[in-house]
Amino acid sequence: MATKTQKTKRTLVEKTADNMLGMATMANDFALNTTEKAFDTSFKMANKSLDVTSKIMKKGLDITATQQDLVFDVLTGVKKKIVKK
C-alpha cells in the first residue's frame, strides 16, 4: 500500500514537472518571438533612418557645393576688379 501511495505521489510530481516544463517552454517561445519581432522592427526603423539621413546629407552637400561655387564666383569677381585697378 505504501508503494502505491508513493507511486501516485511520484506520478503527480512528474505530471506537475511536465506541466511546468511545458509552461516554461511556451514562455520561452513567446519571449523569443517577441524579441525577434522587436529586433525586426528596430532593424527596419534603423534602415529607414539611415535612408533619411543619407538623403539629408546628400542635399546638404549639394547646398554646400552651391554655396562654395557662389563664394568662389564672388572672389573671382573681386579679384578681377582688384587686378584692373
| pLDDT surpasses 70 at 75 | yes
> What integer pLDDT is reported at residue 71 of this predicted model?
94
pLDDT, tens digit, 9 for 90 and up, residues 25-52: 999 999 999 999 999 999 999 999 999 9
Greater confidence (84 vs 79) lies with: 79
For 52, 62, 63, 82, 84, the CA distances from 74, given in Å and listed in that order, are 33, 19, 17, 12, 16
pLDDT at 84: 73
In this model, does residue 9 exceed pLDDT 90?
no
Q: DSSP states of 15-39 as a string? A: HHHHHHHHHHHHHHHHHHHHHHHHH
